[in-house]
Amino acid sequence: MPIFTRNSLSTLFLGLALIFAFSVISASAQQVPNADPKVDYKSSLNQLSTLYQTEVDRLEKQQQQSKTLYQDGLISRVDFENGEKSLEEARARVEKVTKEIALANQPAPVLPPIIGADITASESNWTTGNARVDGLIRYYGKQYGVDPFLIYCTMSQESKFSSGATSYKGAMGLMQLMPDTAARYGVTNPYDIGQSIMGGTRYLKDLLKMFNGRVDLALAGYNAGEGAVMKFGNTIPPYNETRNYVRLILQRYTKKQSS
């Protein structure tokens, strides 16, 4: 069988294996009603690591055979180099998930105490239902110069205040941080309430600064990514999900501001 055909089948089998692995992980999580999101996250990473390393081992053996075939003139240079590329990609996947495991295993930073003594009357009429979450929202809002009520409204729309929330796109935690965004802001465990609020607040701060204080564009960037906002000339991207997202949050946020 030609090398390129074997590589194509290998990629197909790996994809099917990944889909099966995620299905098993998802099913397991659904069967355990009180599962710890942090434990599930680490377990998923470890299973992926094992799967990726198995694929690397298989490709290394295959490539050793291909090298002999290439030297004997039985396969082309293109076929051999395609095999090398597949091996490099597999190794890169192992390296990436290894870094994610290292981040997930880092101890959580020391979180501040609940801040609540200096809450003004205008701030006291909203709550997530969790005093610690409320306190952290106010703490990080004050630290990074973001209106705590905007953080609250964003969190409500993102996760409905569920710290274990995970979207179908892979966003995690109270503030629904994507893996790349979490890494950008030093969040090692997206399901930790303090880290999630810190990372989400810093992201909102940067978006507000990027778009000159425009709350609507900052929210659009939070939902669709700042690149999408800039792509459409610093306007809300023409995506129904994003436009509804911005509309719903602003409806709540501006109503509170004008009351």
The residues that are catalytic are: 158
Rounded Cα distance between 239 and 243, Å, is 6
Taking residue 31's Cβ as centre, other Cβ atoms within 10 Å add up to 8
Report which of 204, 212, 105 is spatially closest to residue 152, judged by C-alpha positions.
204
Q: Which two tokens stand for residue 235?
A: 């306007």
Is 163:173 a contact under the CB 8 Å cutoff? yes
Backbone φ/ψ region at 73: left (φ over 0), alpha (ψ -120 to 50), beta: left
Is 242:222 a contact under the CB 8 Å cutoff? no
DSSP 109: P
Is 108:197 a contact under the CB 8 Å cutoff? no
Q: Which two tokens stand for residue 115?
A: 């801040």
Q: Which two tokens stand for residue 13?
A: 């089998």
Q: Which two tokens stand for residue 78?
A: 């293109």
Report which of 164, 133, 158 is spatially closest to residue 34, judged by C-alpha positions.
164
